[in-house]
Structure 1
């Protein structure tokens, strides 16, 4: 059985399990399942992987998109640039192979974790067809993992932006100070 899932906290709002269960059924994929793994503490992540040997991949949501990067053995170039991931490929391997790979990992780790940021691709390819000449600046609400992907794409497209956050940070404005201008 190929097991997939979502990590984050809380997950009561998530439609992922329903969506992927229906998708697997519709596509005739019988050997796969999708579960929600509520992880309040990301430090429990390695134990989750070890406890689920059929785990092949995970989606990552709030609040772990940034913290999860520190558990990866490898990340694609864009994920490295934004220092946030939302998709993890789990490769189960023998402890001997892991020891000789020379990669960063956990002691006694017999799995490899690859991190990706599909928010970048999704945002860029959704935004590009909608862009017109008058779209010459942007307002980014929030400064978490998804925001990092959005800011990366806006920089790539040469669109200046302003970030709005809940707490004071350099070069960002607070939600309470947001005006119609």
Structure 2
């Protein structure tokens, strides 16, 4: 079986490294590649996927919302989030899923004890933020708080959360046990920090869903203050593992997937 990840740009993606390591570990003859599809070519997506003979594919920036009109069905998580990152092709039908939220939360639950009682601030109001919030609120007791630069971004949110501006979040940082950055600020060569950490409590876990670089600016700043940090590597691995399970119905070799990514990093 053949699989791929689609996005633009895509050359930085470690999805092929991770999935091909899993296939090899399981003795599967499947393959996985990265397909760069610029936005102006996206209307050809059905032909591109058909020509490649794919049984399924992942979707990354900037196509997670753009893919939805081309799908025959989407799961409940995708409906809530308004974005799809995994497509399974069954008997010619394209079925969309969103595994980002479950990927991040699966990793966080293994890292943070007593997560159910944590007071959590999520920074950013995009698709990843909504997916993580939707997954977290299923078992975290305190109401989640989500902060964004512009509050109008919450207009299409239907989750029961506290909403605030970044300025408000900065002044109330001491109230939170976990702070999660879901914005792209800090990716690659971007050295900005999305929010000031001056009011951060010493016990607060600071997390970023980015894994390249391994430590973004906000994680470096938090670490320098002595705070525990948590990056997006587990999210990347667990969302990929869930994609594989959807495609194949089999359990992946998660340790091999993670080690393959760490080796490349």
TM range (shorter): 0.7 to 0.9
1:35 and 1:146 mapped to 2: Cα distance? 23
Compute the TM-score of the two structures, normalised by the length of structure 1: 0.73
Q: Tell me which residue corresponds to 1:161.
A: 145
Alignment of 1:1-181 (within 5 A): 2-30=1-29, 32-41=30-39, 42-52=42-52, 54-91=53-90, 93=91, 111-129=92-110, 130-132=112-114, 135-140=118-123, 142-156=124-138, 157-158=140-141, 159-165=143-149, 168-170=150-152, 173=165, 178-180=195-197, 181=199
The superposition leaves residues 100-126 of structure 1 with CA deviations (integer Å, 9 ceiling, x where unpaired) of: xxxxxxxxxxx3100011112222323
More helix, by proportion: 2
CA distance in 1, matches of 2:194, 2:16: 38
Task: Determine the structure 2 residue equivalent to 1:103.
Answer: none
TM-score (norm 2): 0.52
Please give the alpha-carbon distance, in whole angstroms, between the structure 1 residues aligned to 2:61 and 2:70: 16
* Partners of 2:3 and 2:10 in 1: CA distance: 15
Number of equivalent positions: 157
8 A Cα contact 1:57 1:89, kept in partner: yes
Q: 1:37: how far off? A: 0.9
Q: Which runs of 5+ in 1 are unaligned?
A: 94-110
Counterpart CA distance in 2 for 1:160 and 1:45 is: 37
Find the counterpart in structure 2 of residue 100 from structure 1. none
